[in-house]
Amino acid sequence: MLNQPSPDFSLIIKDNEKTAAQALSDGQFVQTYLLVHSLIEALLRHFLQISDEKNISFDKLIQKYRVYLDQMGYTIPTFLDELTQFNRRRNRIVHQLWRKGHSYTNLQAEPAARGAVIMYSLLIEWLETYDPAITQIGFRLDEGI
């Protein structure tokens, strides 16, 4: 087997952010939401240094984030409820796709997609207080999306 170089993480992030911004601009709210969900998952994986556990679920990432906040002594678990609701919303959007179709689901997903973009920026800003290098590897606060 040939050794393949690792992909440039910052280029992948930039590509997904750019695509999410274009999808939002084009009114493709389901696509926007799903792309932002994947960006938030990548952000949490990077922040929590979980790159080798490929089969870890988003729920497990949230649990690991809770442990991190507990270890840091935070009595108010910042973003935990939001992340849980965010993931539940993703599940509902996916289920609506096969129950009611793309057109209906896309229209209904607009507020969720716009909220997801805001949450993404806020989560980056919050996590940057612990790891200032987050934006240096590619996660952007509010550029493009």
DSSP secondary structure of 86-124: HHHHHHHHHHHHHHH-HHHHHHHTHHHHHHHHHHHHHHH
What is the pTM assigned to this prediction?
0.88
- Structure tokens, 35: 């792309």
In whole numbers, what is the pLDDT of the chain averaged over residues?
88
* Overall average pLDDT of the 92-119 stretch: 96
pLDDT per residue over 4-48, tens digit each? 556 677 888 889 999 999 999 999 999 999 999 999 999 999 899
Q: What's the mean pLDDT in 105-109? A: 97
pLDDT level of residue 145 (50, 70, 90 thresholds):
low
Cα(64)–Cα(112) distance, rounded to whole angstroms?
24
Backbone phi, then psi, for 55, in 5-degree steps? -95, 15
